[in-house]
Amino acid sequence: MHRGEPSYNQPMKFLDLLRQAERQNSSMLCVGLDPEPAKFPAAYQGDARKIYDFCAAIVEATADLVSAFKPQIAYFAAHRAEDQLERLMAHMRSTAPGVPIILDAKRGDIGSTAEQYAKEAFERYGADAVTLSPFMGFDTIAPYLKYHDKGAFVLCRTSNPGGDDFQNQRLASVAGEPRLYEHIAQLAQGPWNLNGQLGLVVGATYPAEIERVRELAPSLPLLIPGVGAQGGDALATVRAGWREHGPIVVNLSRTVLYASAGADFAQAARQVAMQTRDQLQAARLA
């Protein structure tokens, strides 16, 4: 039986896999895998050939604490380490078979090019979901929805200050003049979500806007970066975004990956992940 398949031998849909991992590990935490060799512990420092080894150790240390892993493809491609990413994807499927993998690629093209990007994410790397930019419209999203058991997180209200340049602008041509991020949330909850596969990326640095997105998209999973090094507040994030039928995936990368520069880096990563997982769970119950 393949990873995530129920007994009737049909692939489990991404959202079901995510909810199962959330229950199994009592977790809303996603560990982002953004390997920077210059920041590796002393034994690996500066050696791009050790990307797999470093990330695999983090995965092994945190596999029972997370609801998802999120490798960022640029951190591998920049070091010509796509082969290491392929090995890592296989290692995650073996080490944490119940934990979904979100490939953070932020692809945003159309037509046959988008089809190739979808094939890369879901066939080459075997990801369970991918991040996408919707700037070119539904044509950007459609090729990924052909993979009915997979998920796609659409950029909606990102955590960077420059997000205001477009995402916070009002659309005079749309009834009610919603802000762009509000319009994206409505499209993802409604006409774009053909097979129930979509989620939204919303930054933890804007809790009031997480709450607004949740109003507009009550059932979609939200991928929330920005807690930790970027300054997002975990309690405010959970209160704004988590709903019983609307899961959240709170991403933490650098704070976990580089918790220690010593030989104990994996144990230190586990400790930070456990503390954050428990903090998020406590916020849900508060």
- Cα(143)–Cα(163) distance, integer angstroms: 26
Burial class (CB in 10 A: 0-12, 13-18, 19+), 183: buried
- Cα(243)–Cα(247) distance, integer angstroms: 6
Of the chain, the end-to-end C-alpha distance in Å amounts to 39
User: pTM for the complete prediction?
Assistant: 0.92
> In this predicted structure, what is the pLDDT of residue 82?
98
Is 106 an active-site residue? yes
> In this predicted structure, what is the pLDDT of residue 161?
75
Closest CA to 70 of 127, 115, 112: 127
Taking CA atoms, 160 is separated from 82, 87, 225, in Å, by 27, 31, 10
Domain 14-281 coded CATH 3.20.20.70: yes
pLDDT tens track, the chain, 286 positions:
334 333 334 567 999 999 999 999 999 999 999 999 999 999 899 999 999 999 999 999 999 999 999 999 999 999 999 999 999 999 999 999 999 999 999 999 999 999 999 999 999 999 999 999 999 999 999 999 999 999 999 999 887 778 777 776 777 777 878 888 899 999 999 999 988 999 999 988 888 899 999 999 999 999 998 776 555 677 888 888 888 888 999 999 999 999 999 999 999 999 999 999 999 999 888 7
Map out the domains of the chain as residue ranges: 14-281
Given the residues 13, 39, 50, 106, select the one marked as catalytic: 106
